[in-house]
Structure 1
Amino acid sequence: MSDLFAARSQMAISLAFHIIFAVIGVALPLMMVIAEARWLRTRDAAYLCLAKRWAKGTAILFAIGAVSGTVLSLELGLLWPHFMGLAGAAIGMPFSLEGFAFFTEAIFLGIYLYGWNRVSPAVHLLAGSIVAVSGVASAMFVCLVNGWMNTPVGFRLVNGQFIDINVWKALNNPAGLPEAIHMILAAYCAAGFATAGIHALLALRDRSNRFHRHAIAIALLVGGSAAVLQAVSGDALARVTAVNQPTKLAAMEGDFVTRSGAPLRIGGLPDVRTRQTKYAIEIPYGLSILAFHSPKSTVDGLDKTPRNEWPNVLVVHIAFQIMVGIGTLLMGVSLLAAWLARKRRLTDNYRFLQLLVLCSPLGFVALEAGWTVTEVGRQPWIIYHILRTSEAVTTMPGLTTPLVLFTCLYLVLAVIVIWLMTSHVIASPTEKEIQSVAGNEVLHAHA
């Protein structure tokens, strides 16, 4: 195994693991705050019990995410010193802002967890809201950095060095904001559907438990709304990619030939040797409309790019198809959920609850596929058209050893998380326990 492959594999494993906790840290606090707000408005004890249950889950996953995020920060410096040495001055600001958002989230999560009955309800709800906003801000700053790697701006390159760096212009790179919006919506969608699926499974065992009915309604409000909005954000991001990274778009679609009126492909297997995408269903003019909102627009194919600058076309294309396919499915389920909610049959339909259980992991599958498209589609560049990944990797030998060690660390953390969350989620609160939680809250409020 080459050191470059080991370094890339280590980053891929670290990102794939960390992103799960990152997106839950973005979405679960919002659901937690909605549940508490519903408790304050309706005094339905199930909402209070739900808010407290989700708060504990947020704390567990925040702790694990802090560990995996720290590892990622170390890996950026240890594995990619040439990248950090060149780009550090341009991306240091958003990374520092991400750290500020992280610490803000940690502080107010502590207030939220330990502030029950110690601060006023309004202050407590505000603390939870700050946790939710800080999680979004943290994700946004990371995506702005990634957007800069895809569309680097805000500097002049002289003799291989960045000069005249404008940090704010770098932050305002073309891909940054569309990526951030797409990622935040993906976080809400993945965590929302996962949460709805877990509570749907428990609701199938205990159909009369209103705790799970409320949980499903809130989770689908968050996840379903995001799934529908993803179509809009995906369209905006596709147009940014078409203009700024045409090679990535060509790989996503398995499009080897530059043409006007390019078709949109559903499925298919790109064959780099024959430069054809076999077995695909083609929608005439679809890609031209998607990329430039005009059926006759010319879309660059892979033939416009030297062969040694192509990403892994098969991997990018399949990952993109998985992401779009799952996104379309979840959008359909979301619209079905909205119709059932209007009929007041959202949690009474046995088949729909089963469907939610089946859909519960799909948001995370789409999320991992989307990051595969983003990162593999940029290759062989770590900074697009400026620094190759092979030039950024450390010269330190023996990178297989940290790859094995960190992978083992992630496996141990995964076992701990599964054990903690299973014991936390598996027991459904009874009506007596729900009322007990509310009773304690009222007693403390009067005291």
Structure 2
Amino acid sequence: MFLTDLLPPLAQLTPVEQDHLDQARQMQAMSFAVHIPLVCFGVAFPALVVFVEWLHLRTGDPLYRRLARRWTRVMAALFAVGVITGTILSFELGLLWPQFMASFGDVFGLGFAIEGFSFFLEAIFIGIYVYGWDRLPPKWHFASGFPIIFTGFLGSMMVIAVNAWMNNPGGFRLEDGEAVDVRPWQALFGNDYLWHELVHMYVAAYIVVGFVVAGAYAWGKLRHGRWGRYERTALAIPLTVAAFAAPVQLLVGDWAAREVATHQPVKLATLEGLQRTTEGAPEHILGWYDKETGEIRWGIEIPKLLSLLAFHDPNATVQGLDSVPPDDRPGPVNTVRFAFQTMVGIGTALALLAVVTLWVRWRRRGLPRSRWFYRALVVAGPASVVALICGWVTTEVGRQPWVVYEVMRVDAAVTGAGGVPVGYALLALVYLGVGLGVWWVLRRLAAAPLGGAGDPMEVAAARGPGGADADGETAGGTAGGS
């Protein structure tokens, strides 16, 4: 028997009397905005750490071992923070949206079960990896990093699969307003909407991690003049990864936009502020949607470009906002438009920076020397995080007013309990405390000696004859390089 067999038919689920729906949505959005960058580090950063350790095994260069060990500490610290934010998100789903969880839990519950199992395995192998540096044979320690990469991928894939299902629900039938004939595997993995979301998110993860880590070392070069071989290597590896990923994301973004045009045409109309269904629809760059007239003000209009991008046909018909009743339109329209255009603008700028990076490295066999390049890297780190969050705002706000697209509305899923504003305020304080804690931990890790206090093997490996650093500098001269 399915859980929904014990519930009222969905047709009887009327909007819940809740005076704080907007606060509940904002509370969930704040948690996503805090957690999603940590997901990127959970997905992409372990792969960078394991890659650097492989470089050490292949070359015997102690610099790579030292870098991998320092990044391991950062990886463990961010995983611990991700545990906090992920746990909060899990509780919020049940506390803020009980009707959604109760009505459809047996459809997508398998995904969350696999995600939880992956999380526990990931925690186990992170513990083995962190404490196994001097306790396991080098090849076995290297091998212990692969389960971290796999479980990070698998767990986040399950969450993305649930989100894809919310955007394009399937794997069940509605009979008299009730979900029956539930097929969880089909709902999660037979969903055409999953694959572009999955690829889009994973490419974004490597872009964010690559530019954030490279930006940290670029900041050290500009602010403190730290630029030994250690710093150059620590910047070049993540920057190269991000430089390859950023141009690819433009192609993936085109794929994602065409899937949205097919499965969620009203969301596409919201992204572009297209009021009326139009053949050969234009694209507006920038501008403000005027809800009174349904026109874009102060935007740059490019004729037929929207039809060309969405359907690869300049004369294709694009569905407008007027195709559905006002209550079924996403909104606010300008919030979705601003988030989407910010994501695209930053993504394009990062792709251009990536092309410059790859061109200079190919032509000169080294990193660019201009200070402006490193200033751009410092900006690129936080900008990539902003683009990431804007992408999720586009996805989630663009699906409104539905929590399950065209099946259940958000106002039917929200809790009827009071106290949401109090919980909102407390959660903001929790995240403020967590943010300060992360800043303090990362500052302590950055200030630690390169060899690591109390780690004579690392200190010996890091130093050459006469106490010199392995890359020709004293360990103290490059301390805090990460």
Scaled by the length of structure 2, the TM-score of the pair is 0.88
Q: Which residue of 2 aligns with 1:391?
A: 412
Q: Which residue of 1 aligns with 2:120?
A: 103
Report the CA distance between 1:420 and its aligned residue.
0.8
Aligned 8 A contact 1:90 1:165 in 2: yes
Alpha carbons of 1:251 and 1:168: their partners in 2 closer, same or farther (altered >3 Å)? same
Report the CA distance between 1:427 and its aligned residue.
5.5
Report the CA distance between 1:106 and its aligned residue.
1.0
Structural RMSD (CA)? 2.1
- How many residues matched? 442
Which aligned pairs between 1:57-76 and structure 2 lie closer than 5 A?
57-76=74-93
Which aligned pairs between 1:29-40 and structure 2 lie closer than 5 A?
29-40=46-57
**Is 283-292 or 144-153 further displaced after alignment?**
283-292
Bigger radius of gyration, 1 or 2?
A: 2
Render the CA deviation track for 1:260-317: whole Å, top value 9, x for unaligned: 2112221111111110111212222221121111111111111112111111100000
2:384 aligned residue (363, 384, 387): 363
Report the CA distance between 1:426 and its aligned residue.
4.7
Alpha carbons of 1:436 and 1:340: their partners in 2 closer, same or farther (altered >3 Å)? farther
Amino acid at match of 2:209: A
Aligned 8 A contact 1:46 1:434 in 2: no
Amino acid at match of 2:213: T
Distance in 1 separating the partners of 2:347 and 2:431: 28
Q: Which residue of 2 aligns with 1:419?
A: 440
Render the CA deviation track for 1:220-245: whole Å, top value 9, x for unaligned: 12222221111121111111100110
Aligned 8 A contact 1:45 1:434 in 2: no
Amino acid at match of 2:33: A
Aligned 8 A contact 1:64 1:413 in 2: yes
Alpha carbons of 1:428 and 1:334: their partners in 2 closer, same or farther (altered >3 Å)? farther
Distance in 2 separating the partners of 1:117 and 1:221: 29
1:27 aligned residue (32, 40, 44): 44
Distance in 1 separating the partners of 2:180 and 2:96: 24
Q: Which residue of 2 aligns with 1:201?
A: 219
Alpha carbons of 1:392 and 1:89: their partners in 2 closer, same or farther (altered >3 Å)? same
Distance in 2 separating the partners of 1:427 and 1:267: 46
Which aligned pairs between 1:298-313 and structure 2 lie closer than 5 A?
298-311=317-330, 312-313=332-333
Distance in 2 separating the partners of 1:333 and 1:324: 14
Render the CA deviation track for 1:55-113: whole Å, top value 9, x for unaligned: 10010110111011011101111111100011101100111111122112111111111
Q: Which residue of 1 aligns with 2:336?
A: 316
Q: Which residue of 2 aligns with 1:54?
A: 71
Aligned 8 A contact 1:34 1:218 in 2: no
Alpha carbons of 1:435 and 1:234: their partners in 2 closer, same or farther (altered >3 Å)? farther
1:127 and 2:141 matched: no
Distance in 2 separating the partners of 1:391 and 1:9: 17
1:112 aligned residue (97, 122, 129): 129
Report the CA distance between 1:431 and its aligned residue.
12
Q: Which residue of 1 aligns with 2:208?
A: 190
Alpha carbons of 1:298 and 1:438: their partners in 2 closer, same or farther (altered >3 Å)? farther
Distance in 1 separating the partners of 2:31 and 2:410: 17
Distance in 2 separating the partners of 1:249 and 1:295: 16
Unmatched tracts of structure 1, length 5 or more: 443-447
Amino acid at match of 1:20: P
Q: Which residue of 1 aligns with 2:21?
A: 4
Distance in 2 separating the partners of 1:176 and 1:434: 45
Secondary structure of 1:397 counterpart: coil
1:332 aligned residue (352, 355, 359): 352
Render the CA deviation track for 1:154-197: whole Å, top value 9, x for unaligned: 11011222100111110122221211111111111111101100
Unmatched tracts of structure 2, length 5 or more: 1-17, 464-482
**Is 376-385 or 334-343 further displaced after alignment?**
334-343
Distance in 2 separating the partners of 1:439 and 1:54: 19
Distance in 2 separating the partners of 1:266 and 1:212: 39
Aligned 8 A contact 1:213 1:347 in 2: no
Secondary structure of 1:223 counterpart: helix
Report the CA distance between 1:440 and its aligned residue.
5.5
**Identity within the alignment, %:** 42
Distance in 2 separating the partners of 1:433 and 1:277: 63
Scaled by the length of structure 1, the TM-score of the pair is 0.94
Alpha carbons of 1:36 and 1:430: their partners in 2 closer, same or farther (altered >3 Å)? closer
Distance in 2 separating the partners of 1:434 and 1:77: 45
Distance in 1 separating the partners of 2:456 and 2:281: 61
Distance in 2 separating the partners of 1:207 and 1:16: 32
1:240 and 2:266 matched: no
Q: Which residue of 2 aligns with 1:262?
A: 281
**Is 80-89 or 30-39 further displaced after alignment?**
30-39
**Is 82-91 or 338-347 further displaced after alignment?**
338-347
Amino acid at match of 2:194: G
Amino acid at match of 2:111: P
Aligned 8 A contact 2:279 2:318 in 1: yes
**Is 161-170 or 220-229 further displaced after alignment?**
220-229
Aligned 8 A contact 2:400 2:410 in 1: yes
Q: Which residue of 1 aligns with 2:161?
A: 144
1:223 and 2:249 matched: no
Secondary structure of 2:274 counterpart: coil
1:410 and 2:428 matched: no
Aligned 8 A contact 2:451 2:459 in 1: no
Distance in 1 separating the partners of 2:288 and 2:343: 16
**Is 149-158 or 135-144 further displaced after alignment?**
135-144
Distance in 1 separating the partners of 2:441 and 2:370: 30
Secondary structure of 1:394 counterpart: coil
Report the CA distance between 1:120 and its aligned residue.
2.3
